[in-house]
Amino acid sequence: MRTRYNARITALGGYVPEHILTNHELEEMVDTNSEWIVSRTGIKERRIVNDAQVATSDLAVKAVARLLDDAKLGPDAIECVIVATSTPDYIMVSTASVVCEKAGLVNAWGVDSNAACSGFLYALTLGASLIESGRYKNVIVIGADKNSAIINYEDRNTCILFGDGAGAVLLEQTTEEEGLIDNVFKTDGCGKEHLIVQAGGSLNPSSIETINNKLNFISQNGRVVFKAAIEGMTQTCKEVFKRNDISSEDIDWLIPHQANLRIIQSVGDNLNIPIEKVKINIDRYGNTTAATIPLCLWDFKNDFKAGDKLLLTAFGAGFSWGASYLIWGKLRGDA
**250 and 113 assigned to the same domain:** no
178, 202, 217: which is the final residue of a domain? Answer: 178
334 lies in a domain?
no
Q: Is 145 in the same domain as 200?
A: no
**Residue 164 sits in the same domain as residue 194:** no
User: Is 238 in the same domain as 108?
Assistant: no
Q: Which amino acid is at 79?
A: E
pLDDT (tens digit per residue) in 307-330? 999 999 999 999 999 999 999 999
Specify whether 135 is located in the same domain as 215: no
DSSP assigned state of 19 = -
62: CATH: 3.40.47.10
Give the residue from 143, 175, 182 showing the smallest Cα distance to 312: 182
Q: What is the pLDDT of residue 1?
A: 63
Tens of pLDDT, residues 29-72: 999 999 999 999 999 999 999 999 999 999 999 999 999 999 99
pLDDT confidence of residue 99? 98
Does residue 270 sit in the same domain as residue 319? yes
For the sheet with 320-327, list strands across it. Answer: 179-187, 320-327, 309-316, 253-256
Whether the pLDDT of residue 7 is over 80: the answer is yes
Q: Is residue 117 part of a domain?
A: yes
- Residue type at position 319: F
The answer to whether position 32 is within a domain reads: yes
Q: Under DSSP, is residue 21 helix (H, G, I), strand (E, B) or coil?
A: strand
Structural domain for 288, as ranges: 180-327
User: Is residue 96 situated within a structural domain?
Assistant: yes
- Report how far residue 271's alpha carbon sits from residue 10's, in angstroms, rounded to the nearest whole number: 28
Q: Are residues 128 and 165 in the same domain?
A: yes
Model confidence pLDDT, tens digit, residues 282-314: 999 999 999 999 999 999 999 999 999 999 999
Residue 239 lies in a domain: yes
Q: Calculate the average pLDDT of the chain.
A: 95
pLDDT band at 335 (very low <50, low <70, confident <90, very high): low
Q: Answer yes or no: are the C-beta atoms of 139 and 11 closer than 8 Å.
A: no
pLDDT for residue 34: 93
What's residue 3's pLDDT?
80
Q: Are residues 200 and 102 in the same domain?
A: no
Has residue 333 been placed in a domain?
A: no
List the end-to-end C-alpha distance of the chain, in Å, as a whole number.
32
Which stretch of DSSP H or E encloses residue 38?
helix 34-41
Catalytic positions, written as ranges: 117, 257, 287
Together in a domain, 170 and 243: no
Question: Residue 123: helix, strand or coil by DSSP?
Answer: helix
Residues 124 and 203 both lie in one domain: no
**Which of 178, 208, 227 lies at the terminal end of a domain, its last residue?**
178
Per the structure, the count of domains in the chain is 2
Residues 160 and 233 in one domain: no
Q: Per-residue pLDDT for 334 more than 90?
A: no
109 lies in the same domain as 206: no
Q: Is the dihedral of CA 58, 56, 172, 303 positive or negative?
A: positive
Contact 30, 91 (CB under 8 A): no
Among 114, 147, 178, identify where a domain stops.
178
Neighbour count for residue 234 (Cβ, 10 Å): 20
Mean pLDDT value of segment 135-149: 97
Stretch 224-241: mean pLDDT: 97
